[in-house]
Amino acid sequence: MSFLFPSFLWGLLAISVPIAVHIFNFRRTKRVYFTNVAFLKAVETQTKSIRQIKHWLVMAARILAIACLAFAFSQPFIPAESNVAVDRRGITSLYLDNSLSMESELNNKRYLDIATGRLGDLLGLFKNATSLQLVTNDFSAQEQGLYPAEKLRDRLTTIGLSGTPRTLEQVYKRQENLMARHSQSGKNQLFWFSDFQKSTVGDLSAIQTDSTNQIFLVPVQAEAEKNLFVDSAWLNTPFIRELQNNILFVKVSNSGNREARNVVLRLSLDNTQASTASVNVPANGSATAKFNFNLKGKGYKKGQITFDDFPVTFDNDYYFVLNASPLIRVLHVYGQKPEGNYIENVYANDSLFTLQSYSAQNVDPGLIRSSDLVVLEGVTQLSGTLPQDLQDFVRQGGSLAIIPPAAPAADSYGRFLSALGINGITSEKAQASLALAVPDRNNPFFSDVFEESMRQEMNLNLPNVLPVWSWASAGQQLLTLRNGQTYLNQVLAGTGKTYLFAAPLSQENGNVAQHAIFVPVMYKIAASSVRQQRTSFTFDENPISLTVGKPKPNSVYKLRRNKTEIIPVQRMAGNQLLLEIPQGDQTADGLTAGYFELVLDNKTEQIIALNHNHAESRLQYYSPEELRAAFSGKKNIQVFDRIDDDAFSTAFQQQNMGTNLWKFFLYAALFFLLAEIGLIRFMK
């Protein structure tokens, strides 16, 4: 038997009081005068031996009552069976995993409800403790203090699912930092109630625990049969036009070990069902659904993919946003102002394009990054940071069209173009102009550029060109001269494209800019330069990069949903707005999955869609055996098997807290006090 507070054993010295009272009779005789013996009451006689027995019994009852009270206050207990015992004098920190995966069910009960019940049973064992702490995935401010058990029991009824998964390393550091603020004597104990999902708990070997802290892992889990979720959605073309047929591809994944057959997916646009599709998703595999749709009207359209999949429902809705007929951002960078203004005449007079023109000496690198197409015209010498900015722009998905000057610097352009996959630049003006060859009608670039009648006329009337440079064959030839020399080709670099012309657009170098072929070719280059639309983002994607038009200095953007507004951490990089979505209690902040308006000065600039991370949808868990193997070298960590609700508190107390005996000593003290009263009153 051991004692939790052995200092109270000094109370046993109090037994000297009844001993002294009984050994030394402090009662003094009192003389009573009376006049007549007739008034004397008959006195019952008692033998000395009987009186001595009563005397010693009363003294023993008093001694035992005091001794039992002293033992009760020192809280004796039988030591626990396990070596990892709980020290109730330290801080007890409880972690309740309330991530979205805890929505799974076991015997028709949510994992979160099971974990809450077990935690409530554990609080019953610590009902007299005042140094308790409850941590959830929210990492909220109310979790930073120490509270009594009843306070935490009341809070358990208010905990809901959180969209922010936490790794066990983050949880441990959070608990450790909070406990350091409230240092107390005794060892601390940490409890983790979780499903221990493999995709979210992180690297278990990276958890560095303090050996003085006792850690108890309580798994709440079962094998996942199946769970479906939308992995991604994308368009067949990056450019969406209204009143035209468009195709949306949706990848659906299955994280369970059973095939999902005939899953019906529903596509809604602006809350109106637009199409349906059915797929069979193999176990631990994926399938792709195809939706045909068209849009009416320009601007942002709210899209949603929905399906039925129980019991895990948090990922049954996937939100995305489509921008119908968006403006194509064209940046015209020139060396000297061209006389014909051919580029401006093509793009400036069409509402489909937004055109900005700058000299190569004054262009802002931020404008390059935020453009879809950069037209570099007539720049003789590439200098400064312009070559590197253009190379980065192409590698990151932008399109660059290069129209040479009358006398280009071959060395400067040679180094620049070699980084984009174009080699062998030779600057030499041709002696005579040559006509363009007939475009290849099977080339996808010209698939929707010309009508049949125009194709026939082009065979008879094609423009002449006087090239100023040539290069080694690279990429895809779009237009050639009749001698086989390349006039316009397309080269891929990274995720972007480079279009290289062989001659300037001036009349001295040909009449391409005045020909009917020029406008559709430049339109096609611009349309092909539109980057793939980013249809949605995830909450944990920090930062989120959004392109904004003409940003104002010191602008503060807000995210609004319904009547809830938040101001995320933000910074501007050119025309790119970088937002950091706040982590934590997303439900309290209104940040559940759905659509959000990007607001500036109370005006909606864009609409974005935010979804939960796919990791929460992958329902694979660490088993108790796997957890023991992962923490096998750490003696201060104990892993429980899956325990039923009713058995958990009893099993935990026997293994780690021992058997409390203070109640029995308290009952014994009351018994001996009653025995003393009985002896005095009834033993004659």
Domain of 136, CATH number, reads: 3.40.50.410
pLDDT tens digits, residue range 461-476? 789 999 999 998 788 9
pLDDT bracket for residue 213 (50, 70, 90): confident
Does the residue 619 lie in any domain? no
Range with the poorest average pLDDT among 243-247, 368-372, 417-421, 466-470: 243-247
pLDDT tens digits, residue range 515-529? 988 998 998 898 888
Amino acid at the residue 199: S
The Cα–Cα gap between 581 and 567 comes to 9
Same domain, yes or no: 480 and 406? yes
The Cα–Cα gap between 95 and 175 comes to 8
pLDDT bracket for residue 454 (50, 70, 90): very low
User: Rounded to the nearest 5°, which phi and psi values hold at 75?
Assistant: 50, 75
Same domain, yes or no: 414 and 501? yes
Does the residue 463 lie in any domain? yes
The Cα–Cα gap between 355 and 347 comes to 6
Q: Among the residues of 370-488, which ranges form H helices?
A: 386-395, 410-418, 452-458
| pLDDT at residue 535 tops 60 | yes
Same domain, yes or no: 430 and 453? yes
The Cα–Cα gap between 469 and 240 comes to 37
Does the residue 427 lie in any domain? yes
Q: Which of 316, 336, 361 is the last residue of a domain?
A: 316
The tally of CA atoms less than 13 A away on the side-chain side of residue 455 is 11
Same domain, yes or no: 356 and 440? yes
pLDDT bracket for residue 606 (50, 70, 90): very high
β-pair partners for 145: none
Average pLDDT for 587-613: 84
- Do you know the residue count of the chain? 684
Does the residue 618 lie in any domain? no
Q: How many domains does the chain have?
A: 5
pLDDT bracket for residue 339 (50, 70, 90): confident
Residue range of the domain that includes 296: 228-316
Average pLDDT for 161-176: 91
pLDDT of residue 455: 45
The position carrying tokens 């559940």 is: 592
Does the residue 41 lie in any domain? yes
pLDDT of residue 37: 62
Average pLDDT for 642-651: 61
Average pLDDT for 60-75: 86
Choice between 153 and 585, residue whose per-residue pLDDT is larger: 153
pLDDT tens digits, residue range 392-422? 999 988 999 999 999 898 888 999 999 999 9
Range with the poorest average pLDDT among 275-289, 426-440, 481-495, 575-589: 575-589
Same domain, yes or no: 102 and 233? no
pLDDT of residue 453: 45
DSSP element (H, E) containing 564: strand 564-566
Same domain, yes or no: 467 and 389? yes
The Cα–Cα gap between 315 and 318 comes to 7
Same domain, yes or no: 484 and 344? yes
Q: Which of 509, 529, 549 is the last residue of a domain?
A: 529
User: Rounded to the nearest 5°, which phi and psi values hold at 557?
Assistant: -95, 145
pLDDT bracket for residue 584 (50, 70, 90): low
pLDDT of residue 635: 85
Q: What is the CATH number of the domain that holds 274?
A: 2.60.40.10
Same domain, yes or no: 424 and 376? yes
pLDDT of residue 657: 58
Instruction: Transcribe 3-50 into DSSP letters.
Output: ESSGGGGGGGGGGHHHHHHHHS--PPP-----S-GGGPPPPPP--HHH
pLDDT of residue 29: 57
The Cα–Cα gap between 65 and 75 comes to 16
pTM of the model: 0.67
For 222-253, b where at least 16 C-beta lie within 10 A, e where not — what string?
bebebbbbbebbbbeebbbbeeeebebebbbb
Q: Which of 276, 293, 316 is the last residue of a domain?
A: 316
| pLDDT at residue 47 tops 60 | no
Same domain, yes or no: 20 and 75? yes
Average pLDDT for 47-75: 81
Same domain, yes or no: 143 and 214? yes
Cα Rg of the chain, angstroms: 41
Same domain, yes or no: 124 and 237? no
pLDDT bracket for residue 501 (50, 70, 90): very high
Query: What is the average pLDDT score of the chain?
Result: 84
Same domain, yes or no: 304 and 337? no
β-pair partners for 254: 228
Does the residue 84 lie in any domain? no
